[in-house]
Amino acid sequence: MEFKKAANDIIISYPLYLIGGKYIECGKCVFFGSYGILSTWDSFQGEKFTPHIVIGDHVTIGNGFHISAANKIIIGNGVLMGKYVTIVDNSHGNISFEEMCIPPINRHLQIENDVIIEDNVWIGDKVTIAKGVLIGCGSIIGSNSVITKDVPAYSVVAGVPAKIIRELNGK
């Protein structure tokens, strides 16, 4: 496996489908579950991108994950992800009649802000995290949730789209 930067104690459960590893940095004690897709895209349909994925220390990513960046995804330290988690910082096209007349694979990639998952976040099974989202430190994301908006630190969210169920303030 070729990564831009990686500690020597990474555990990879094969198979792992890796595209653009030269744009991916991994910290210490990172575990990748089997049947995952980890991809970065520096070009698509003639457009150029500067992708970057940063994965912190002590991160566990469950089986069947899909993490894809054309811009930037940052995963903090101590993050735990269940099975079949999807994290993307891009999408195929926008919602316009002209775009919808083009096959999705031929549309330009739409990129917004980075996806940032701060430290000590717990992400349940089958969660989808959309482009431009910040998930605050210590948050819990319920299984099967779709995250389309920022999640405040120390919050519990769930649903499609996810909504705040509880916020903890340490008191």
Q: How far apart are CA 115 and CA 88, in angstroms?
A: 8
CA contacts within 13 A on the Cβ side of 76: 16
92 flagged as catalytic: yes
Residues 6+ apart with CB under 8 A from 18: 1, 2, 24, 38, 39
Q: Compute how many other C-beta atoms are within 10 angstroms of the C-beta atom of residue 93.
A: 17
Phi, psi dihedrals of residue 118, rounded to the nearest 5°: -75, 180
> Which of 52, 58, 66, 92 does the annotation list as catalytic?
92
Question: Which residues participate in catalysis according to the annotation?
Answer: 92
